[in-house]
Amino acid sequence: MNQFKTLALLSMLSALLISISYYTLGGTGGVIIGILIAAATNLGSWFYSDKIALAAHKAQPVSRETAPELYTMVETLAKKADIPVPGVYILPTESANAFATGRDPEHAAVAVTQGIMKMLSTDELEGVIAHELSHIMNRDTLTQAVAATIAGAIAFLAQILQYSMWFGGMGNSNDDNGPNPIALMATLFLAPMAATVIQLGISRTREFSADAGAAELTGNPRALANALQRLEASAKQMPMTGNPAYEPLMIMHAVPKQMFSGLFSTHPATDKRVERLLALESDLVTA
Protein backbone atom coordinates (compact mmCIF):
# COMPACT_ATOMS: atom_id res chain seq x y z
CA MET A 1 0.00 0.00 0.00
CA ASN A 2 2.77 2.44 0.86
CA GLN A 3 4.61 1.61 -2.37
CA PHE A 4 1.39 2.37 -4.26
CA LYS A 5 1.04 5.70 -2.44
CA THR A 6 4.64 6.53 -3.30
CA LEU A 7 3.99 5.80 -6.97
CA ALA A 8 0.72 7.76 -6.96
CA LEU A 9 2.35 10.79 -5.38
CA LEU A 10 5.29 10.61 -7.74
CA SER A 11 2.95 10.36 -10.71
CA MET A 12 0.79 13.34 -9.69
CA LEU A 13 3.68 15.67 -9.02
CA SER A 14 5.64 14.53 -12.07
CA ALA A 15 2.58 14.98 -14.28
CA LEU A 16 2.12 18.48 -12.88
CA LEU A 17 5.74 19.30 -13.60
CA ILE A 18 5.53 17.99 -17.18
CA SER A 19 2.24 19.82 -17.81
CA ILE A 20 3.76 23.08 -16.63
CA SER A 21 6.70 22.59 -18.94
CA TYR A 22 4.40 21.86 -21.87
CA TYR A 23 2.19 24.91 -21.50
CA THR A 24 4.84 27.39 -20.50
CA LEU A 25 7.95 26.34 -22.39
CA GLY A 26 6.04 25.33 -25.47
CA GLY A 27 4.98 22.04 -27.07
CA THR A 28 7.16 18.96 -27.38
CA GLY A 29 10.30 20.74 -26.25
CA GLY A 30 8.61 21.71 -23.01
CA VAL A 31 7.47 18.12 -22.42
CA ILE A 32 11.00 16.85 -22.94
CA ILE A 33 12.39 19.41 -20.51
CA GLY A 34 9.69 18.48 -17.97
CA ILE A 35 10.44 14.77 -18.29
CA LEU A 36 14.17 15.39 -17.87
CA ILE A 37 13.60 17.53 -14.78
CA ALA A 38 11.19 14.98 -13.28
CA ALA A 39 13.59 12.11 -13.96
CA ALA A 40 16.55 13.98 -12.51
CA THR A 41 14.71 15.02 -9.34
CA ASN A 42 13.27 11.54 -8.79
CA LEU A 43 16.64 9.84 -9.23
CA GLY A 44 18.29 12.43 -7.03
CA SER A 45 15.72 11.84 -4.30
CA TRP A 46 16.11 8.08 -4.59
CA PHE A 47 19.88 7.99 -4.20
CA TYR A 48 20.80 11.11 -2.24
CA SER A 49 17.81 12.23 -0.13
CA ASP A 50 19.31 10.96 3.13
CA LYS A 51 22.71 12.57 2.55
CA ILE A 52 21.17 15.89 1.50
CA ALA A 53 18.80 16.07 4.49
CA LEU A 54 21.53 15.18 6.98
CA ALA A 55 24.02 17.62 5.47
CA ALA A 56 21.42 20.41 5.43
CA HIS A 57 21.05 20.10 9.19
CA LYS A 58 24.77 19.53 9.90
CA ALA A 59 23.90 16.17 11.46
CA GLN A 60 26.78 14.38 13.19
CA PRO A 61 26.92 10.55 13.17
CA VAL A 62 27.16 8.83 16.54
CA SER A 63 27.98 5.29 17.59
CA ARG A 64 27.44 3.03 20.57
CA GLU A 65 30.63 4.43 22.07
CA THR A 66 29.86 8.16 21.59
CA ALA A 67 26.13 8.10 22.47
CA PRO A 68 25.42 4.76 24.15
CA GLU A 69 21.91 5.46 25.48
CA LEU A 70 20.60 6.90 22.22
CA TYR A 71 22.23 4.24 20.06
CA THR A 72 20.99 1.39 22.26
CA MET A 73 17.45 2.81 22.16
CA VAL A 74 17.47 2.97 18.35
CA GLU A 75 19.03 -0.49 18.09
CA THR A 76 16.50 -2.09 20.45
CA LEU A 77 13.48 -0.57 18.70
CA ALA A 78 14.87 -1.41 15.24
CA LYS A 79 15.23 -5.06 16.23
CA LYS A 80 11.68 -5.02 17.57
CA ALA A 81 10.49 -3.53 14.27
CA ASP A 82 12.51 -6.17 12.37
CA ILE A 83 14.45 -3.65 10.29
CA PRO A 84 18.20 -3.00 10.01
CA VAL A 85 19.60 -0.57 12.56
CA PRO A 86 19.62 2.82 10.78
CA GLY A 87 22.38 5.35 11.02
CA VAL A 88 22.07 7.44 14.17
CA TYR A 89 22.74 11.18 14.07
CA ILE A 90 22.57 14.17 16.40
CA LEU A 91 21.74 17.68 15.17
CA PRO A 92 23.72 20.46 16.90
CA THR A 93 20.78 22.63 17.93
CA GLU A 94 18.91 23.27 21.15
CA SER A 95 15.57 23.23 19.30
CA ALA A 96 13.67 20.02 20.06
CA ASN A 97 12.89 17.90 17.01
CA ALA A 98 13.71 14.67 15.18
CA PHE A 99 13.41 13.15 11.72
CA ALA A 100 14.10 10.02 9.70
CA THR A 101 15.40 9.88 6.15
CA GLY A 102 16.50 7.36 3.54
CA ARG A 103 15.02 5.55 0.54
CA ASP A 104 14.37 2.22 2.31
CA PRO A 105 15.09 0.42 5.60
CA GLU A 106 18.50 -0.67 4.30
CA HIS A 107 19.54 2.94 3.57
CA ALA A 108 18.01 4.91 6.42
CA ALA A 109 19.00 7.25 9.22
CA VAL A 110 17.39 8.67 12.35
CA ALA A 111 18.41 12.11 13.57
CA VAL A 112 17.54 13.84 16.82
CA THR A 113 18.49 17.26 18.09
CA GLN A 114 20.51 17.94 21.20
CA GLY A 115 17.50 19.84 22.50
CA ILE A 116 15.07 16.93 22.28
CA MET A 117 17.48 14.63 24.13
CA LYS A 118 17.69 17.11 26.99
CA MET A 119 13.98 17.89 27.12
CA LEU A 120 12.23 14.51 26.92
CA SER A 121 12.17 11.69 29.41
CA THR A 122 13.44 8.26 28.38
CA ASP A 123 10.01 6.84 27.54
CA GLU A 124 9.02 10.00 25.66
CA LEU A 125 12.21 9.92 23.57
CA GLU A 126 11.59 6.23 22.94
CA GLY A 127 8.15 7.12 21.55
CA VAL A 128 9.73 9.69 19.23
CA ILE A 129 12.35 7.22 17.99
CA ALA A 130 9.64 4.59 17.43
CA HIS A 131 7.67 7.16 15.41
CA GLU A 132 10.67 7.78 13.16
CA LEU A 133 11.35 4.07 12.74
CA SER A 134 7.71 3.62 11.71
CA HIS A 135 8.31 6.14 8.93
CA ILE A 136 11.25 4.03 7.79
CA MET A 137 9.22 0.79 7.95
CA ASN A 138 6.45 2.35 5.84
CA ARG A 139 8.95 3.94 3.42
CA ASP A 140 7.41 7.32 4.19
CA THR A 141 10.91 8.78 4.16
CA LEU A 142 11.17 8.17 0.42
CA THR A 143 7.66 9.51 -0.20
CA GLN A 144 8.41 12.71 1.67
CA ALA A 145 11.80 13.21 0.05
CA VAL A 146 10.45 12.74 -3.46
CA ALA A 147 7.48 15.00 -2.78
CA ALA A 148 9.69 17.76 -1.37
CA THR A 149 12.15 17.48 -4.26
CA ILE A 150 9.58 17.63 -7.06
CA ALA A 151 7.58 20.37 -5.34
CA GLY A 152 10.82 22.30 -5.05
CA ALA A 153 11.54 21.76 -8.75
CA ILE A 154 8.08 23.09 -9.63
CA ALA A 155 8.61 26.17 -7.47
CA PHE A 156 12.05 26.68 -9.02
CA LEU A 157 10.63 26.46 -12.54
CA ALA A 158 7.93 28.97 -11.67
CA GLN A 159 10.57 31.32 -10.27
CA ILE A 160 12.69 31.03 -13.41
CA LEU A 161 9.66 31.78 -15.56
CA GLN A 162 8.87 34.80 -13.40
CA TYR A 163 12.36 36.19 -13.87
CA SER A 164 12.15 35.52 -17.61
CA MET A 165 8.85 37.37 -17.81
CA TRP A 166 10.27 40.34 -15.90
CA PHE A 167 13.29 40.62 -18.16
CA GLY A 168 11.47 39.85 -21.41
CA GLY A 169 13.11 36.51 -21.89
CA MET A 170 9.96 34.56 -22.69
CA GLY A 171 9.72 35.82 -26.20
CA ASN A 172 6.64 37.06 -27.99
CA SER A 173 3.51 35.67 -26.33
CA ASN A 174 1.64 35.97 -29.63
CA ASP A 175 4.00 33.50 -31.25
CA ASP A 176 2.29 30.13 -31.68
CA ASN A 177 5.50 28.46 -30.57
CA GLY A 178 5.83 30.68 -27.52
CA PRO A 179 4.47 30.15 -24.05
CA ASN A 180 0.76 30.43 -23.41
CA PRO A 181 0.31 33.58 -21.27
CA ILE A 182 -2.63 32.11 -19.33
CA ALA A 183 -0.72 28.93 -18.61
CA LEU A 184 2.26 31.06 -17.62
CA MET A 185 0.23 32.94 -15.01
CA ALA A 186 -1.21 29.67 -13.72
CA THR A 187 2.31 28.32 -13.39
CA LEU A 188 3.52 31.32 -11.47
CA PHE A 189 0.70 31.33 -8.93
CA LEU A 190 -1.23 28.04 -8.93
CA ALA A 191 1.23 25.26 -9.77
CA PRO A 192 3.55 25.74 -6.77
CA MET A 193 0.49 25.96 -4.52
CA ALA A 194 -0.99 22.74 -5.97
CA ALA A 195 2.33 20.93 -5.57
CA THR A 196 2.60 22.06 -1.96
CA VAL A 197 -0.97 20.97 -1.15
CA ILE A 198 -0.28 17.48 -2.56
CA GLN A 199 3.01 17.22 -0.70
CA LEU A 200 1.66 18.36 2.66
CA GLY A 201 -1.55 16.32 2.39
CA ILE A 202 0.51 13.14 2.14
CA SER A 203 2.74 14.30 4.99
CA ARG A 204 -0.19 14.81 7.38
CA THR A 205 -1.65 11.39 6.56
CA ARG A 206 1.64 9.62 7.16
CA GLU A 207 2.12 11.28 10.55
CA PHE A 208 -1.00 9.59 11.90
CA SER A 209 0.24 6.26 10.57
CA ALA A 210 3.67 6.70 12.15
CA ASP A 211 2.10 7.65 15.50
CA ALA A 212 0.09 4.42 15.44
CA GLY A 213 3.19 2.45 14.49
CA ALA A 214 5.12 3.96 17.39
CA ALA A 215 2.33 3.08 19.82
CA GLU A 216 2.46 -0.53 18.60
CA LEU A 217 6.26 -0.73 18.88
CA THR A 218 6.50 0.69 22.39
CA GLY A 219 3.15 -0.36 23.81
CA ASN A 220 3.05 3.10 25.42
CA PRO A 221 0.95 5.54 23.34
CA ARG A 222 0.74 8.06 26.19
CA ALA A 223 4.51 8.59 26.21
CA LEU A 224 4.44 9.75 22.59
CA ALA A 225 1.33 11.84 23.27
CA ASN A 226 3.14 13.60 26.12
CA ALA A 227 6.20 14.08 23.92
CA LEU A 228 4.14 15.70 21.14
CA GLN A 229 2.58 18.16 23.57
CA ARG A 230 5.96 19.13 24.96
CA LEU A 231 7.47 19.44 21.48
CA GLU A 232 4.69 21.76 20.33
CA ALA A 233 5.21 24.01 23.35
CA SER A 234 8.95 24.01 22.70
CA ALA A 235 8.46 24.94 19.01
CA LYS A 236 6.70 28.12 20.10
CA GLN A 237 9.57 29.07 22.39
CA MET A 238 12.49 27.93 20.25
CA PRO A 239 11.61 27.40 16.57
CA MET A 240 13.97 25.24 14.56
CA THR A 241 15.62 27.16 11.75
CA GLY A 242 16.54 25.66 8.40
CA ASN A 243 15.24 24.94 4.94
CA PRO A 244 11.40 24.77 5.10
CA ALA A 245 11.47 22.07 2.41
CA TYR A 246 12.46 19.62 5.14
CA GLU A 247 9.59 20.56 7.44
CA PRO A 248 7.50 17.46 6.53
CA LEU A 249 10.35 15.19 7.66
CA MET A 250 10.22 16.45 11.25
CA ILE A 251 8.12 14.84 13.96
CA MET A 252 6.80 18.30 14.86
CA HIS A 253 6.41 21.47 12.81
CA ALA A 254 9.61 23.40 13.28
CA VAL A 255 7.95 26.81 13.67
CA PRO A 256 4.98 27.94 15.79
CA LYS A 257 1.69 26.28 14.92
CA GLN A 258 -0.25 29.49 14.34
CA MET A 259 1.76 30.12 11.18
CA PHE A 260 0.08 27.14 9.53
CA SER A 261 -3.51 26.13 9.00
CA GLY A 262 -5.59 23.74 6.95
CA LEU A 263 -4.13 22.59 3.64
CA PHE A 264 -0.79 24.29 4.24
CA SER A 265 0.11 22.58 7.51
CA THR A 266 2.97 20.11 7.39
CA HIS A 267 1.54 18.13 10.29
CA PRO A 268 -1.89 17.30 11.71
CA ALA A 269 -3.04 19.32 14.69
CA THR A 270 -1.22 18.08 17.77
CA ASP A 271 -4.43 17.75 19.77
CA LYS A 272 -5.82 15.38 17.11
CA ARG A 273 -2.66 13.29 17.21
CA VAL A 274 -2.81 13.15 21.00
CA GLU A 275 -6.49 12.22 20.89
CA ARG A 276 -5.80 9.29 18.58
CA LEU A 277 -2.88 8.09 20.69
CA LEU A 278 -4.94 8.15 23.87
CA ALA A 279 -7.67 6.22 22.06
CA LEU A 280 -5.05 3.61 21.19
CA GLU A 281 -4.05 3.48 24.86
CA SER A 282 -7.66 2.85 25.79
CA ASP A 283 -7.83 0.03 23.25
CA LEU A 284 -4.70 -1.55 24.76
CA VAL A 285 -6.18 -1.40 28.25
CA THR A 286 -9.46 -3.04 27.21
CA ALA A 287 -7.81 -5.65 24.95
**DSSP code of residue 262:** G
Which residues are CB-contacts of 287 (< 8 A; sequence separation ≥ 6)? none
Active site residue 132: yes
The beta strands (E) that lie in the chain are given as: 60-61, 87-91, 98-104, 107-113
Distance CA 241, CA 249 (A): 14
CA angle at 224 for the pair 5 and 144, rounded to the nearest 5°: 25
Would you say 256 and 232 are in contact if contact means Cβ atoms under 8 Å apart?
no
Distance CA 226, CA 214 (A): 13
Kindly name the residue from 126, 132, 232, 247 that is annotated as catalytic.
132
Active site residues: 132
